[in-house]
C-alpha cells in the first residue's frame, strides 16, 4: 500500500509541477485553486538594467565546489558566488539559493545572480554576501535527467543534506558569520517550496526565508507556521513573489492569507502578468537581496 501511495503522490506532484519549468503556464486543463481576499503587497518595478552587467564596478566571482554528503553518501556539487573583493579577513553572510525541479546547481546562473548582486553591492543597496547555489536533489544520481518528477522525494531529503552537510562545509571553507542572522534561504518553484519548508522549520538556522513562485511541494500554512507566536518571535523576514498568471500562485497566496489572519509578518508580491519564469525570479532575488542581512 505504501508503494502505491508513493507512486500516486509522485504522479500527482508531477501533474501539478508540469509548469515548473521556465516559461511554463501550466498543463492543459489544470486550473489553479483560487484563494480569496489575498492582501498583496505593493509591486514596485525593478529599475531598467538591474540585471545587466555594468562597466566600471567591481565584480564578484563564481566557482564550483564539491562537498562530502553524509546524507546521500556521495560527493556533491554547488555553485558559489563570492562578492567583489572577497577578503578572508572579513566575515560574510550567506544566502542559500535553491533551483527548480528541472534544474541543478547551475540553473540559477540563467538568472545572473552574480550580475544582480554586483550591481546592488556597488550601489550600496545590498550587503556583500556569499551566495551558495546547491543541487537540491539529494540522491545518488542528482542529475536533472529522465523523469525529474519521479525523484521528488530527493528534494525533501535535501533538508538534511543542507543542514548537516552543506552548511558546515561552507562555514569551514569560507569566512562567514555562522549564526542565523547571517543565513538566508530562498528559491524558485520547487526550490521556493523547499525554502519555505526548511527555513520555517529551522528558524534557529535561518532568519530570512524567501519563496519565488513556490511549487506544490510547499507545506500547508498550518504545517509551515504551527505556532504563529514563535514564528513572529524568531523569523526576521518571510518574503514571497509570484506571477499573476502563474498557476502556482495558490501555494503562496494561502500562506499569505493565513499569516495575515494570525498576525505573522509576511510579504507577497503579485508580479503583473508574470508567468513561471526568470523574469519573476530575477525580480524576486533583486528585492530579497536588499532586505536581508541589514545591520
SS3 call for 212: strand
Residue 32 burial (CB count, 10 A): 16
Give the strand pairing for 74-82 and 61-69: antiparallel
Give the strand pairing for 183-188 and 208-212: parallel
Bridge partners of 82, per DSSP, are 61
Please name the residue that has the C-alpha cell 507566536.
229
Domains and CATH numbers, the chain: 41-291 (3.40.50.1820)
d(CA 290, CA 65): 26
C-alpha cell at 74: 556521495
d(CA 18, CA 11): 11
Strand order in the sheet with 183-188: 61-69, 74-82, 130-134, 94-98, 183-188, 208-212, 237-243, 267-271
d(CA 187, CA 133): 9
CB 92 within 8 A of CB 175: yes
d(CA 274, CA 246): 7
pLDDT tens per residue across all 295 residues of the chain: 333 333 334 434 444 444 444 544 332 334 567 888 999 999 999 999 999 999 999 999 999 999 999 999 999 999 999 999 999 999 999 999 999 999 999 999 999 999 999 999 999 999 999 999 999 999 999 999 988 887 789 999 999 999 999 999 999 999 999 999 999 999 999 999 999 999 999 999 999 999 999 999 999 999 999 999 999 999 999 999 999 999 999 999 999 999 999 999 999 999 999 999 999 999 999 999 999 998 6
Q: What is the pTM of this model?
A: 0.91
Amino acid at each position: 500500500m505504501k508503494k502505491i501511495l508513493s507512486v500516486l503522490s509522485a504522479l500527482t506532484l508531477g501533474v501539478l509541477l508540469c509548469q515548473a519549468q521556465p516559461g511554463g503556464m501550466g498543463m492543459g486543463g489544470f486550473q489553479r485553486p483560487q484563494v480569496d481576499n489575498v492582501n498583496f503587497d505593493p509591486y514596485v518595478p525593478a529599475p531598467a538594467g538591474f540585471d545587466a552587467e555594468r562597466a566600471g564596478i567591481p565584480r564578484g566571482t563564481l566557482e564550483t565546489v564539491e562537498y562530502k554528503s553524509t546524507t546521500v553518501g556521495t560527493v556533491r556539487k554547488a555553485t558559489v558566488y563570492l562578492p567583489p573583493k572577497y577578503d578572508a579577513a572579513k566575515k560574510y553572510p550567506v544566502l542559500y539559493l535553491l533551483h527548480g525541479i528541472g534544474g541543478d546547481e547551475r540553473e540559477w546562473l540563467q538568472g545572473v545572480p552574480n550580475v544582480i548582486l554586483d550591481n546592488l553591492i556597488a550601489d550600496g543597496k545590498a550587503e556583500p554576501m556569499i551566495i551558495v547555489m546547491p543541487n537540491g536533489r539529494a540522491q545518488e544520481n542528482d542529475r536533472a535527467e529522465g523523469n525529474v518528477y519521479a525523484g521528488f522525494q530527493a528534494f525533501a531529503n535535501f533538508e538534511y543534506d543542507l543542514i548537516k552537510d552543506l552548511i558546515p562545509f561552507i562555514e569551514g571553507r569560507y569566512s562567514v558569520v555562522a549564526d542565523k542572522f547571517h543565513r538566508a534561504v530562498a528559491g524558485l518553484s520547487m526550490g521556493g517550496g523547499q525554502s519555505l519548508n526548511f527555513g520555517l522549520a529551522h528558524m534557529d538556522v535561518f532568519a530570512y526565508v524567501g519563496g519565488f513562485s513556490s511549487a506544490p511541494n510547499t507545506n500547508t500554512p498550518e504545517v509551515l507556521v504551527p505556532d504563529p507566536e514563535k514564528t513572529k518571535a524568531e523569523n526576521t523576514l518571510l518574503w514571497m513573489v509570484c506571477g499573476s498568471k502563474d498557476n502556482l500562485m495558490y501555494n503562496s497566496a494561502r500562506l499569505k492569507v493565513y499569516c495575515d489572519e494570525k498576525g505573522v509578518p509576511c510579504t507577497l508580491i503579485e508580479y503583473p502578468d508574470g508567468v513561471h519564469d526568470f523574469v519573476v525570479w530575477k525580480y524576486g532575488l533583486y528585492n530579497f537581496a536588499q532586505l536581508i542581512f541589514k545591520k
